[in-house]
Structure 1
Amino acid sequence: MHRILQRSYDLPALELWLERLVSAWEPTFGKDALELGRFWYREGAVRGLEVSRESLIVHSKEGGALWYAVIDWESGRLAVRSSVLDKARGHALAVAGLYELEELITEVLVFLPDESEKTTNSLDENLHQFSKSALGEEGSLRNLCIKVCVTREGLELTALWQGEEGSCVPVLNEAEDTLTHGEREQAILLSMLARRAGFSLDARRGVYLLREFEKIRSFVSSMLVDWKKRFSVECSPDVYALVHGPERVRLVGNAQSKGARGFRFEWQVLAGEDVLSARDMRRLLRGGGVPVFMPGKGALVLPAEDATLVDHWKHSAAGWKEGEVPRYMLFSLFEKAETPWNLDGGLHAWKENVLASPEESIELPKFLRSYQHAGVAWLKHRLGSGCHPLLADEMGLGKTVQVLSLIAADEERTKPSIIVCPATVVPVWLQEVARFFPAIETRMVRTGVVFDGTSCLWVCSYTQLRRHRALLDAVDFDYAVLDEAQFIKNPDTKVAHACMQLNAKHRIALTGTPIENKHLDLWTIFRFLMPGLLGTRATFERKVMHDGEVFLSALKRQIAPFVLRRTKQAVLKELPDKVEVVLPCPLTDLQRVAYQKIVEEAKRELSGEQENAMHLFTWLLRLRQAACDPALLPSHEQVSYEQSGKLLALLDRLEPVFDSGSKVVIFSQFVRFLERVECALQERFPDIARFKLIGDTKDRSAPVRHFQESTRAACFLGSLRAGGTGITLHDADYVFLLDPWWNPAVEAQAVDRVHRLGQQKKVMIYRLIAPGTLEERIQTLKEHKHALFDALVGQLGTLSDIEQYFASLGALIDYKE
């Protein structure tokens, strides 16, 4: 049945019709009209009622056409007329309308407050007579008994006719023509009350259901009392529990050791002290913070964050079979500290051991410094616990020698180990092994190499690893070490996939800059180290985007046991200071004209474009070239170096430096700019030795060695990418950064080629910046990236969108005097 759409009435008219309907009115109509009318009533065919003292008008709609029946009260009896010629249909609509009128009378008059001033003695008497009829005291020997219980769907109401001998017949399954007048009135009253409370009819099962929790609580706390006055009502005990709201259940994790490295894990949900079944737990998890009805317990609710935690664990641990989940995954669970975890004795001891300070009982080379000795012990301790660490020491603290010391001290090595690093750093590893651990057999991965299983140390570039990816599945390594691990920051690259494919007993990542551009850099590194620890990529990125600082705090806490980060300031008290100075280099007139012309062209071409990163960064590159030296632009290749404000400032600054006998390192990302510097140096300082290291330099060690061994003033020219990693230039005490790089980590790597272990002098660092240009705004991005790095790793989203930092393209590139 459906509630009618429109009802027009006043109380005096309803009171009159109440008097008229106290007596049975069904005999006024034939059997066919009664059956059809009851059907229309159940189907909600009545669209409107107009109740006046003289008549009742019943509106309906069929096939788009409106029609009606009018019921008049004439000489103490009902008289029907209608707008259709078919008399039987008119009478059927009248029957449906009278049933709706009885409902309306029950709703409006039966439930009037007792103190209502409008309730007269006459109305009281009529209501009593109506209720007597509805309660079966006339013409019925059966009582209406209602049973209320909690089911998985909600609150279920079953209505039964109870005879004198205790026999019970479902009310909703009994044919209407077998009911007495009193029974029919009881059924109508029940239907009215159920509808008023929000119940819906499940005709197939013959019960009423109420699914909305707030409506259920309202029914139990207030309406049920009135129902018990009108019917015989039996409620199961769990019904009354609904008054107090849903009971909040507790999520508990249980973990048991499985072998030496794995564990078995299961979730449990507790309601009070009772452990719910797996089926009920699944229902609560699907509920996601919404009350779920449980027979015998009422309504239960599992907090949405607990359901999210279980789902996070399900996806994170999906790659392992039952009982084979690595123990480090327990730290994935500890992200939510308030959830109780029940660890068996073995796992509890393991966890405490992981978090304990390592014992430095390992015998190591005497040349190691104390902090390096501690670093090797820490690595050994973590690896011995089945965890795979990230050594994030600041550049220049000797991460290479710490790892080599660890591998050399491992007497249980029987399989090969592999170091994967940038191609420019391969010679460094080979030199360090030859220098400190000549007993370790080293091999370099080249085209056509065969991994024969010999217990040696392979040194491999990231590019070569990608090319030999097909061979990796057949090789088991003792150690797999990623140096400059930020090279795999993009998890979608073939290089990253090749690294993930390495099979190794121990995995180590080395980098002084684990975050270069965004948080995903760190996720990728830990995917190599301990897959699953930081969850799935989608979950990780969603938390970064939506949870912000809260997630960063949790992330920092989660990775802390597996990251060792020391700074030079903290462990090398004897290391001289470094002083950073911004050296303003005003544009020459020619530079300014060239720069402003590029700005105008860029704005014109990029205006109106939705997304075209390639075009944008092409224009940004040209602007940076113009800020350095107009000769870097195709239209000004032949201009004198005196047209570059930076070259003029550099040469002026170098004169006193060379006079003092100091050595200088000059970095730029533009090889062409370094060539211009070299020509200017040849002209201004022809007696100063010059050494250069760029991307196509075949023998990287030669210029480094010659520069370090030089006994007089010298200049080393290096590209940021080629000369910024894997070399030591600590014999210099001046560094010039000719052009700012988007990423501060790249610049820091370059500076740390000079300011590192072995440096004896204070290091002066000059950053050459063209005022009023794009270069000043690059510093803004760099400051944000420093903050990101420090937040996660320094004390232990995406930053690439320009619009996140600048109001417009003009705000980024315009020249400002």
Structure 2
Amino acid sequence: MEYPNPNFNLTHQEMQESQSSTAPSSSNSPEIFMVGFVIVNIVGLKHYEGTISGREMVGLIREPLNPYDTNAIKVINTQTIEVGYIERSSAEILAPLMDSNLVILEGIVPKPPKNRNPYKLPCQIHIFTSFDEISIVQSAIMVSELQLISDPNPSFALSEAAIVKENNPKTDVDEIFKLVGTDVGENGREIVEPPKEIIKSELFLHQQEGLAWLIHRENSCELPPFWEEKSGIYRNVLTNYQTDERPESIRGGIFADDMGMGKTLTLLSLIAMDRKSNVPSLPLETDDDNLEKLPKDKSSISVRKFKREKSGNRIVGSCKKRKLNDGRRGDLKDIGDETPSMLGPKTTLIVCPPSVFATWITQLGEHTRQGSLKVYMYYGERTKEAKEIQKFDIVLTTYSTLAGEVYWKKSPIKEIEWLRVILDEAHQIKNASALQSQAIHALKAKRRWAVTGTPIQNGSFDLFSLMAFLRFQPFSIRSYWQSLVQHPLDHGSASGLFRLQALMGTISLRRMKDSQIGNGLPPKTVENFYVELSSEERKQYDRMESEAKQTITSYIHASRVMRNYSTVLHIILRLRQICNDLALCPSEISSLLPSTGPEDVSKNPELLAKMITMLQDGDDFDCPVCLSPPSETIITCCAHIFCHSCILKALKHLNPRCPLCRRTLSEKDLFSVPPQTSNEDKPASPLSGIHSSSKVSALLKLLVASREKNPSTKSVVFSQFRKMLILLIEPLKAAGFEILCLDGTMSAKRRSQVIKEFSENGVGGPTVLLASLRAAGTGINLTAASRVYLVEPWWNPAVEEQAMDRVHRIGQREEVKVVRLIVRHSIEERILELQEKKKNLARIAFGKKGAKEQRQMRVEELCTLMRM
């Protein structure tokens, strides 16, 4: 039956949300396997503009709110244009499996016959699930009218899925990938200098080369990768999609230089290239409520209250014209007399975490001439007029600000078509399901840049969200990424890694400090300092680890690891904390959480209170839906932790359930975690008495030895646990150290003050900064220090690298020494093993072809951590 309303369409943002909400992230799920495929019909073809011209993969999007069918599954082609809907009888079977997150579906339309039915089109839907759920999925389909075709059924050979075709030696997909990824990042050694009337700083050679690459990418008129043109017809050789309209070039990419190489200055230089040398100087502007976020020294920045005044936009010329002008715009006369409607977009939107705001403002003051760029901070109290925002050269905002405007119908950020969007710390959108990621994907822009020194944090699936932001078709569609890249990677196929490297080669630039600026930057050494626990600590640790092994083993044998996700995280958290100090951990794991099945915390106020305390003490919990630190943390009645927005989205389904344990949920079953409060003028009071664990004692010895060698040496001590930082205050003071604290409870203004005070030189000033890893791990400059101490290892090596490179970056004049404190014969040593696997993947993805990826599975990781 066809759907009668041809105008029932989702926006691009809604499409991304629907796609991501119906399939688990590969980086957060067990390894998946193909159960088989079913053949269904796509109907309603005559009502929609999307076409299928050959053998093509299609996107399947759940529409539970469709007014005509709550089981509706919309079909889009590789251009994200709607083709039709899966027929009702088939959707009735498949929709509940999608809603329960049991399956990942991939639709492929075989090559249509010449005399095909104009009203419907056959489609193979391939069904993937985890090993533990295969029998459940098979049973659900077997009782329906759908025929599941799986191996060894002879018809299985008719599958059009890439994972099946790759077993055929005649496949040529890898041959197609060989045609791309060989020239980007190796575009000769061209250099470009920015206009001196705007950029007053001298760029290093690697920055000039980077600027040349950025300009080349922005002005490219080449066909996107995998497209070819014959006789006026454009065909994507991967998808077989054909059109007579020339596909748009990908103007942008992933700027993935190592941290501390001066990416911010390079990007400011790129923005400066938009400006003509005789354009009148314009001051940096902001409104009064945001003035506190600016640095006190404004010698090179003119700041005044935001007021409404006319300012013209600049023309974005043709590709040919931009090439002739080396990326600068053509001649303009009387630019101030033009109106925004007469010219193309001129404004660059920069999105960054709140902690990076001050860095951008500082960098503008240090590197640009006074009044040369006009900047607006879209943060806190802000204008709602798009025309006012478009008068500026740069608009600074945060990921959380954009996430908060996802459902605004008249958000000026969404209304504007930007000249350029720059995502600073772009790994913030590593999970496409997160609300902030959806907000980013929906932005309209001529040019798009994902900027991060750590493009891969959890795994290769992190890159999918960047592909969606860059609109790199077909990889911006989840099903294509999974079929052509993720599935081969998950199954250890060399072709998956080869393809990943080829894709990164087409659109990314990644250079490491050691090879690019090693001669100009002092060296950095990283060493592990191993700590032996005292007899009392060892006895307590061994007892708790034994108890933890028993609990986790029972979950693994019962295939209930994911259903007890929060419990497992809490157990591992406590083992890590006991390595730091016994005071951080209760004497019994069982006193914190139940070890068998979910418990209703609404009936156990004591358990709820303990969980809230633990969440506020710890700094390392991620929402299992978006894989990011929870925003407005929620605890469900079944003792699982989510972002407020993530769990509310899950409850929109017809049968709302907990994404982890599948328990029925409603909004009354959600409990909010109150925000932490902090006295920003002085750190929280330490625990009573001065005592030292083995690790605290080891840290004190290292700091004292460094001070004896050079009393002026400054050190940064990182920990993920705020309570650990508090425990360090009294021992450090008793040892004669002047200290400062920096943690996530502080406002942006207070953080800036702490960093400025720490950076100032002077006798008797602070020499140790106690910093939360998440609060100080990104976007700040701590080059005043030359020693870094990591109190405990972090799961994600990229987070540690970010913390180290707050100190080891351009501007550092002394050799940097990094010390990681690791307890021997403990979970900390096993975390280092997992770190090496993740580092390997990041190196290989941007490195030489032919290396083998080390696959990761959640259960295998648990077994490694617990030595099971």
TM range (shorter): 0.5 to 0.7
1:705 shift after superposition: 1.7
Partner in structure 1 of residue 430 of structure 2 = 489
Q: 2:716: which partner in 1? A: 665
TM-aligned CA deviation for residue 525 of structure 1: 1.0
CA displacement at 1:570 relative to structure 2:
0.9
Closer, same or farther: CA 339–673 of 1 in aligned 2, 3 Å? closer
Contact 1:415 1:476 in 2 (8 A): no
Distance 2:124 2:728 in 1: 68
Q: Determine if contact 1:588/1:643 at 8 Å carries over to the other structure.
A: no
Q: Which amino acid aligns with 2:738?
A: A
Structure 2 residue aligned with 1:705? 756
Counterpart Cα distance in 2 of 1:340 and 1:806: 37
| Distance in 1 of aligned mates of 2:835 and 2:163 | 38
Q: Deviations over 1:680-719 (max 9, x none)?
A: 111111xx33122111222222222222222457111111
Tell whether 2:846 aligns with 1:804: no
TM-aligned CA deviation for residue 465 of structure 1: 0.9
| Match among 521, 543, 563 for residue 488 of structure 2 | 543
More strand by proportion, 1 or 2?
Answer: 1
Deviation of 1:653 (Å): 1.3
Are 1:337 and 2:201 matched, yes or no?
Answer: no
Q: Determine whether 1:417 maps to 2:348.
A: yes
Letter in 1 for 2:373: I
Closer/same/farther in 2, CA of residues 795 and 751 from structure 1, 3 Å limit: farther
1:463 counterpart (400, 411, 418) = 400
Q: Provide the secondary structure at the position in 2 that maps to 1:566.
A: coil
Counterpart of 2:320 in structure 1 is: none
Matched residue type, 1:557: A
In structure 2, what is the equivalent of residue 149 of structure 1?
none
Secondary structure of 1:786's aligned partner: helix
Equivalent positions of 1:307-322 (< 5 A) are none
Distance 1:367 1:308, change over 3 A: same
1:742 is aligned to 795
Mapped partners of 2:206, 2:159: distance in 1: 41
Asked if 1:515 is matched to 2:379, the reply is no
Cα shift readout 1:350-370 (whole Å, capped 9, x = no counterpart): 999998548545644451111
Between 699-708 and 444-453, the greater mean CA deviation after superposition: 444-453
Letter aligned with residue 402 of structure 1: T
- Read off the aligned partner of 1:782 and give its amino acid letter: Q
Show structure 1 runs of 5+ residues with no match. 1-250, 254-261, 264-276, 289-302, 313-332, 342-347, 813-817
SS in 2 for 1:491: coil
- Aligned twin of 1:478: 419
The Cα of 1:444 is off from its aligned counterpart by: 1.5
1:381 aligns with 2:216: yes
Q: CA deviation at 1:421?
A: 0.8
2:741 to 692, 695, 710: 692
Equivalent-residue separation in structure 1 for 2:185 and 2:807 (angstroms): 36
Deviation per residue, 1:557-590 (Å, 9 max, x gap): 1220211111111111222221221111111233
- Structure 1 700/800 Cα, relative in aligned 2: closer, same or farther at 3 Å? farther
- In the alignment, is residue 445 of structure 1 matched against residue 411 of structure 2? no
1:90-129 pair list within 5 angstroms: none
1:394 paired with 2:335, answer no
TM-fit CA distance, 1:281: 11
User: Is structure 2 residue 830 aligned with structure 1 residue 777?
Assistant: yes
Output the TM-score relative to the length of structure 2. Answer: 0.53
Rounded Cα–Cα distance in structure 1 between residues aligned with 2:182 and 2:55: 18
Deviation per CA, 1:468-512: give whole Å up to 9, x if none. Answer: 233143111111111111111111111100000110111001101
Contact 2:184/2:509, CA 8 A, preserved across alignment = no
Residue 215 of structure 2 aligns with an amino acid whose one-letter code is K
| Amino acid paired to 1:550 | S
Which secondary structure does the structure 1 equivalent of 2:260 belong to?
Answer: coil
Letter in 1 for 2:374: E
Structure 2: any 5+ residue segments left out of the alignment? Answer: 1-53, 57-77, 80-110, 126-155, 166-170, 221-248, 276-313, 316-344, 589-685
**2:355 partner amino acid:** T
Kindly state the Cα deviation for residue 591 of structure 1 after the two structures are TM-superposed. 2.0
Contact 1:733 1:754 (C-alpha < 8 Å) held by counterparts: yes
SS at match of 1:608: helix
Return the alpha-carbon distance in structure 2 between the equivalents of residues 591 and 734 of structure 1.
Answer: 28
Task: For 1:701, give the aligned amino acid.
Answer: S
Q: Give 1:656's aligned residue.
A: 705
Q: 1:334 to 1:762 in 2, by over 3 A?
A: farther
Counterparts of 1:280 and 1:650, CA distance in 2: 75
Q: Residues 569, 807 of structure 1: CA spacing in aligned structure 2 closer, same or farther, 3 A cutoff?
A: same
1:435 correspondence with 2:488: no
Aligned-partner SS, 2:554: coil
Equivalent position of 2:133 in the other structure: none
Tell whether 2:817 aligns with 1:764. yes
Aligned partner of residue 459 in structure 1, secondary structure? strand
The residue number in structure 2 matching 1:558 is 503
Amino acid paired to 1:811: R
Q: Which residue of 2 aligns with 1:506?
A: 447
Q: Structure 1 CA distance, aligned partners of 2:258 and 2:269?
A: 18
Q: Deviations over 1:401-451 (max 9, x none)?
A: 111110121134643221111111111112212332342122222345323
Aligned to 1:84: none
Residue 802 of structure 1: CA displacement?
4.0
- Check conservation: 2:432, 2:438, Cα contact below 8 A: yes
SS in 2 for 1:505: strand
- % identity of equivalent residues: 30
Hey, what does 1:631 align to over in structure 2?
Answer: 583
Which amino acid in the other structure matches residue 561 of structure 1? T
Shift in alpha-carbon separation, 1:448–1:714, aligned structure 2, 3 A: closer
**Could you say what secondary structure the match of 1:581 adopts?**
strand
**Distance apart, 1:279 and its partner CA:** 3.5
- Shift of the 473–641 alpha-carbon distance from structure 1 to 2, 3 Å rule, reads same
* Counterpart residue identity of residue 580, structure 2: C
* RMSD between aligned residues: 4.0
Q: Does 1:645 align with 2:694?
A: yes
Which of 567, 580, 583 is the aligned partner of 1:615?
A: 567
Using the TM superposition, give the Cα deviation of residue 757 of structure 1 relative to its aligned residue in structure 2, in angstroms. 1.1
CA distance in 1, matches of 2:697, 2:445: 53
Q: Counterparts of 1:399 and 1:426 in 2: how far apart (Å)?
A: 15
Say yes or no: does 1:569 pair with 2:521.
no
| Deviation at residue 399 of structure 1 after TM alignment | 0.8
1:715 matched to 2:764: no
Say if 1:519 and 1:653 are closer, same or farther in 2 by CA, change over 3 A: same
Q: 1:547 deviation in Å?
A: 5.5
Bigger RCO of structures 1 and 2 (CA < 8 A, at least 6 apart)? 2
How far did 1:521 drift? 0.4
What amino acid does structure 1 have at the position aligned with 2:734? E
Deviation at 1:665, TM superposition (A): 1.1
How far, CA to CA, are the matches of 2:157 and 2:263 in structure 1?
A: 43
**More moved, 585-594 vs 391-400:** 585-594
The 3-state SS of whatever aligns with 2:376 is strand
Cα distance change, pair 654–704 in 1 and its aligned pair in 2 (3 A) = same
Return the alpha-carbon distance in structure 2 between the equivalents of residues 705 and 335 of structure 1: 54
Q: 1:588 to 1:563 in 2, by over 3 A?
A: same
Would you say 1:728 and 2:781 are equivalent positions?
A: yes
Change (3 A) 1:652 1:363: closer
SS in 2 for 1:593: helix
Deviations 1:190-229 (A, max 9, x none): xxxxxxxxxxxxxxxxxxxxxxxxxxxxxxxxxxxxxxxx
* 1:641 to 1:590, Cα distance in 2 relative to 1, 3 A: farther
- Measured in 2, the distance between the counterparts of 1:547 and 1:374 equals 36
Partner Cα distance (1:805, 1:604) in 2: 16
Offset at residue 535 of structure 1 (A):
5.6
Q: Residue 191 of structure 2 contacts residue 209 of structure 2 at CA under 8 Å; is this kept in 1? A: yes
Name the amino acid aligned to 2:516: V
